[in-house]
Amino acid sequence: MRKINRQQLIDEIAKLCIKANRELPDHQIELLKKARENEETELHRELLGQVLENAELARNTELPICQDCGMAVVILKVGRECFLDFDIDQVINVGVAKGYTEGYLRASMLFSPLDRRNTENNTKAIIHTELVAGDKVEVIVCPKGGGSENASRVKMLTPADGRQGIVDFVVDAVKNKGASACPPLTLGVGIGGTIEHVARLAKFALLEEKPSDEFADLEAEITEKCNQLGIGVGGFGGKSTVLATHVLSHSCHIATLPVAVNIQCHAARHARGII
Amino acid sequence: MKTIKLTTPINREDFKKMEKGDLVLITGEIYTARDTAHKIITCDGNVPFDLNDKIIYYAGPAPAPPGRPIGSIGPTTSSRMDVYTERMLQLGVAIKIGKGPRSPETEKVFKDNNAIYLSALGGAGALLATKVKKAELVAFPHLGPEAIYRLEVEDFPAIVVVDTTPSC
């Protein structure tokens, strides 16, 4: 068994919170550059140019990519040969508080959904823990903005709704709320499982970078239909409403067809580290 | 689409030449206010400064890093403020800036009150922070990022979404 040091995990989480909020992943930069090349008007190329300029500015200063530094979604993949003799959730929250405070990142989280008092250090984090093979811990920090999360949806379709029902549900979500979710968007789509599992699949789908083996056609159809809506960068029109759609699925009950879409703004942030 | 330079104090006569889709570059003073500040002003009646002919920007900035007046400061979703808009415009607000569309009812409220709504580029908070030259806390410090700040801006860019042309 390999013992994981408490302070090492705190420092790694803090570092990744800051990195994720300042350095947009290369994959996302490439998608934005392609979208800019694909636009037909000077206004839309200029606006996508500003999105790229904003990312470059954040990479080279202490200004985060977006003032909404997000809910700190932390995914911890713990190797089965690791030994952690501390309260993992508590330690992750200490790391998040340290990162958001030391990195000049905005605190957006509240003590309680109804009392609306800010915790002032962006805790509590949203934590997903998985057991995997090996003797290492992989940490992924994915800051998620409130505006795009508000545009996200989950619905229990019926088996009769089928593939078309899924396409209509996702495109309708983008049509209704996409303009306020800071497009161009990435769509994480979950299909199957239970009500809580389908939403988790949608969130995890946002970390995918390649088309799915099983659902590539569905992903392409959703992206294409959304790009015909004319919402475009910042909601100011044009061809770039959705950069990519990623689907993850799970087995489901004979009576159900759960579907969820997690809408991601153009600041599609995440940072990975290994301990 | 044309580019219009706008300097505060606001002269509402200038609104007549602004059309949906125009780019406006604002120089002067704007005030931040988000959901909770709007609720305090409109529901509790606690109006912390004179709103007459002022510009309200739906934004909650990130903390200022060393050597800068403010952190990243992009717009937040405007439609959440639809319910507060009529009262804010009655209190004298002339321009509201945020991101995304407004409801048809809210668009009419802007036109009826000779006020305009502009949308800034969502998610470009670092870039917009470079347009802010000075920032001071005005009210509600207990709200953290939702407090009201007075900003001095130079060529702050936003696009007209609701102009003063009467709806038919």
Model pLDDT for residues B16-31, shown as the tens digit of each residue: 999 999 999 999 999 9
> Is B142 a known active-site residue?
no
- Is residue B39 classed as helix, strand or coil in its secondary structure? helix
Q: Taking each helix axis from N to C terminus, what angle separates A162-177 and A216-227, rounded to the nearest 10 degrees? A: 40
A182 to chain B: which residues are within 8 Å by CB?
Answer: 99, 122-123
Task: Look at residue A47 in the predicted model and tell me its pLDDT.
Answer: 95
Counting as low any pLDDT under 70, the low residues of chain A are: none
How far apart, in whole angstroms, are the C-alpha atoms of residue A131 and residue B6?
57
The pLDDT of B46-51, averaged and rounded, is 96
Asked if B146 is an interface residue toward chain A (Cβ–Cβ < 8 A), one would say yes
CB pair distance less than 8 Å for B68 and A67: no
The first and second tokens of residue A98, run together, are 């340290």
Residue of A nearest to B118 (CA): A236
Reported as a single tens digit per residue, the pLDDT across A84-134 is 999 999 999 999 999 999 999 999 999 999 988 999 999 999 999 999 999
CB neighbours (10 Å) of residue A39? 20
pTM beyond 0.90: yes
Q: Of the candidates B64, B79, B123, which has its C-beta nearest A267's C-beta? A: B123
Task: Look at residue B168 in the predicted model and tell me its pLDDT.
Answer: 62
**d(CA A234, nearest CA chain B) in Å:** 6
End-to-end CA distance of chain B: 22
Whether the per-residue pLDDT at B1 is higher than 90: the answer is no
Asked if B2 is an interface residue toward chain A (Cβ–Cβ < 8 A), one would say no
Tokens 């800019």 sit on residue: A36
Interface of B with A in 22-41 (CB under 8 A): 36
- For B18, residues 6+ apart whose C-beta sits below 8 A from its C-beta are B4, B24, B116, B160, B163, B164
Q: Of the candidates A65, A105, A235, which has its C-beta nearest B126's C-beta? A: A65
CB pair distance less than 8 Å for B123 and A120: no
Confidence label for B167 from pLDDT (cuts 50, 70 and 90): confident
The size of the A-B interface in CB pairs under 8 A is 123
CB A122 within 8 A of CB A41: no
A150 to chain B: which residues are within 8 Å by CB?
Answer: 77
**d(CA A165, nearest CA chain B) in Å:** 26
Asked if B83 is an interface residue toward chain A (Cβ–Cβ < 8 A), one would say no
Task: Look at residue B166 in the predicted model and tell me its pLDDT.
Answer: 87
Residue of A nearest to B160 (CA): A236
Task: Look at residue A120 in the predicted model and tell me its pLDDT.
Answer: 95
A233 to chain B: which residues are within 8 Å by CB?
Answer: 121
B71 to chain A: which residues are within 8 Å by CB?
Answer: 63-64, 67, 104, 106
B121 to chain A: which residues are within 8 Å by CB?
Answer: 47, 50-51, 233-234
Q: Of the candidates A43, A61, A180, which has its C-beta nearest B126's C-beta? A: A61
**d(CA B13, nearest CA chain A) in Å:** 26
What phi and psi, each to the nearest 5 degrees, are found at residue A151?
-85, -10
